[in-house]
Structure 1
Amino acid sequence: MIRLENVSKTYQTDKVETLALNAIDLHVKKGEFVAMMGPSGCGKSTLLNLIGLLDRPGAGTVSIDGIPLKSYRDKYVAQLRNSTFGFIFQSFHLIPDLRVIDNVELPLLYRSMGAAERRQAARAMLEKVGLGARMDHYPNQLSGGQQQRVAIARAMVGKPQVLLADEPTGNLDSKMGAEVMDILLQLNREGTTVVMVTHDEREAKAAGRIVRVFDGQLVA
């Protein structure tokens, strides 16, 4: 489903050139749950950003469903990203001035859906993550675990094929982290492909496959 071939990424400033990824070959199959592990600064988040088309490689090819992205025209990539991927981040990234249900609706504003259809989809997804009674609350009225569940609902409301999660339990205690992992595992069982960056060995072992990154390269 997602294939990276000989992908490298270099960041350059006026004085320093940093090789973030070097000659990465990675294939993520439809329906997989892949955990990416490695020390801080090894390139995990950069790799996740390339998979999710949030960044483009300096060299090599990223292919989605067998189609290589040879051009990264902004409009086309934005449409492909919106229809294919859902994103979850460590810091939730909820908009504090919007109610929970309005936060979840946000990805649907870029689709040809009416207001009633958007609201219905957001309600259904919040029910799915156990927050049906919190729809009209604001983010600061929720616990950290509840905020991350809102973020999961927002990522999934557009029914993406792939869920990309960057340290989704990193800001949570063990109980809340386990609840979030249970949701991710359930979504995977229902057919969603999941790629997750984590430092937690227990969480990684719950995934179907572990990919280890060290100094910008995949290691066994």
Structure 2
Amino acid sequence: MIKLNKVSKTYRTDKVETLALRDIDLEIRKSEFVAIMGPSGCGKSTLLNLIGLLDRPGAGSVHVDGQPLDGRREGDLAKLRNSTFGFVFQSFHLISDLRVIDNVELPLLYRGTPGAERRRLAQAALEKVGLGARMEHYPNQLSGGQQQRVAIARAIVGNPQVLLADEPTGNLDSKMGEEVMDILLKLNAEGTTVVMVTHDERQGRQAGRIVRVFDGQLVA
């Protein structure tokens, strides 16, 4: 489904050049749950950003559903990103002055989905993560775990093929972290491909496969 061929990424400033990833060969199959693990600063989040088309490789190629993305315009990549991927981050990135239901509707607003359909899909996504009763609340009225569940609902409201999660339990206590993991595992069991960056070995072992990164390279 997603394939990276000899992908490298270098970040440059006026004085410093940092090689973030080097010669990455990786294939993620449909309906897999892949955990990306490794020490801080090893390139995990950079790898996730390349998989999700949030960044472009400096060398090598990225394929989605067998199609190479080299040379695609940013507008085309944005459309593909919006239709294929959902994103969950360590920080919830909810808009504080919008109700929960409005936060979840946002990706559909960008797609031009009609209002009534947006509301129906957002309600269904919130029900799926167990927050159907919190639709009219604001983010600051929710616990950290509940806010992350809202973020997951927002990520899945457009029925993405792939859910990318960057340290989704990093700001949560163990109980709330387990709740979030249970949701990710359930979504995967229903057919959603999940790629998760994590430092937590126990959570990594719950995935179907662990990909380990060290100093910008994949290691066995």
Same-fold call, TM > 0.5? Answer: yes
3-state secondary structure, aligned to 1:7 = strand
Q: Cα deviations across residues 76-104 of structure 1 (Å, max 9, x unaligned)?
A: 00000000000000001001010000000
In structure 2, the residue matched to 1:159 is 159
Rounded to whole Å, the distance in 1 between the matches of 2:140 and 2:122 is 19
Per the TM alignment, residue 54 of structure 1 is displaced from its structure 2 partner at its CA by 0.2
TM-score (norm 1): 0.99
TM-score (norm 2): 0.99
3-state secondary structure, aligned to 1:62 = strand
**Is the contact made by 1:56 and 1:72 (CA closer than 8 Å) also made in structure 2?**
no
Instruction: Identify unmatched segments of 5+ residues in structure 2.
Output: none
Rounded to whole Å, the distance in 1 between the matches of 2:96 and 2:110 is 20
Rounded to whole Å, the distance in 2 between the matches of 1:70 and 1:46 is 18
In structure 2, the residue matched to 1:108 is 108
In structure 2, the residue matched to 1:60 is 60
Rounded to whole Å, the distance in 2 between the matches of 1:8 and 1:109 is 34
**Within the alignment, does 1:173 sit opposite 2:163 as a pair?**
no
Rounded to whole Å, the distance in 2 between the matches of 1:56 and 1:197 is 19
In structure 2, the residue matched to 1:14 is 14
The one-letter amino acid paired with 1:148 is Q
The one-letter amino acid paired with 1:211 is V
Instruction: Identify unmatched segments of 5+ residues in structure 1.
Output: none
**Within the alignment, does 1:214 sit opposite 2:206 as a pair?**
no
Q: Percent identity?
A: 80
User: RMSD over aligned Cα, in angstroms?
Assistant: 0.5
Per the TM alignment, residue 197 of structure 1 is displaced from its structure 2 partner at its CA by 0.2
Per the TM alignment, residue 22 of structure 1 is displaced from its structure 2 partner at its CA by 0.3
In structure 1, the residue matched to 2:117 is 117
Rounded to whole Å, the distance in 1 between the matches of 2:167 and 2:132 is 25
Rounded to whole Å, the distance in 2 between the matches of 1:71 and 1:98 is 37
3-state secondary structure, aligned to 1:60 = strand
The one-letter amino acid paired with 2:145 is G
Q: List, as ranges, runs of 4+ consecutive aligned residues in structure 1 with deviation greater than 4 Å.
A: none
Rounded to whole Å, the distance in 1 between the matches of 2:18 and 2:86 is 28
Rounded to whole Å, the distance in 1 between the matches of 2:27 and 2:49 is 15
What is the number of equivalent residue pairs in this alignment?
220
Q: Cα deviations across residues 175-202 of structure 1 (Å, max 9, x unaligned)?
A: 0000000000000000000000000000
3-state secondary structure, aligned to 2:137 = coil
**Is the contact made by 1:8 and 1:22 (CA closer than 8 Å) also made in structure 2?**
yes
Per the TM alignment, residue 44 of structure 1 is displaced from its structure 2 partner at its CA by 0.1
Per the TM alignment, residue 72 of structure 1 is displaced from its structure 2 partner at its CA by 3.2
Alignment of 1:134-213 (within 5 A): 134-213=134-213
Q: Cα deviations across residues 146-193 of structure 1 (Å, max 9, x unaligned)?
A: 000000000000000000000000000000000000000000000000
3-state secondary structure, aligned to 2:210 = strand
Per the TM alignment, residue 71 of structure 1 is displaced from its structure 2 partner at its CA by 1.5
In structure 1, the residue matched to 2:96 is 96
The one-letter amino acid paired with 2:104 is V
**Is the contact made by 1:2 and 1:29 (CA closer than 8 Å) also made in structure 2?**
yes
Rounded to whole Å, the distance in 2 between the matches of 1:11 and 1:114 is 40
The one-letter amino acid paired with 1:218 is L
Per the TM alignment, residue 112 of structure 1 is displaced from its structure 2 partner at its CA by 3.4
Per the TM alignment, residue 7 of structure 1 is displaced from its structure 2 partner at its CA by 0.1
3-state secondary structure, aligned to 1:185 = helix
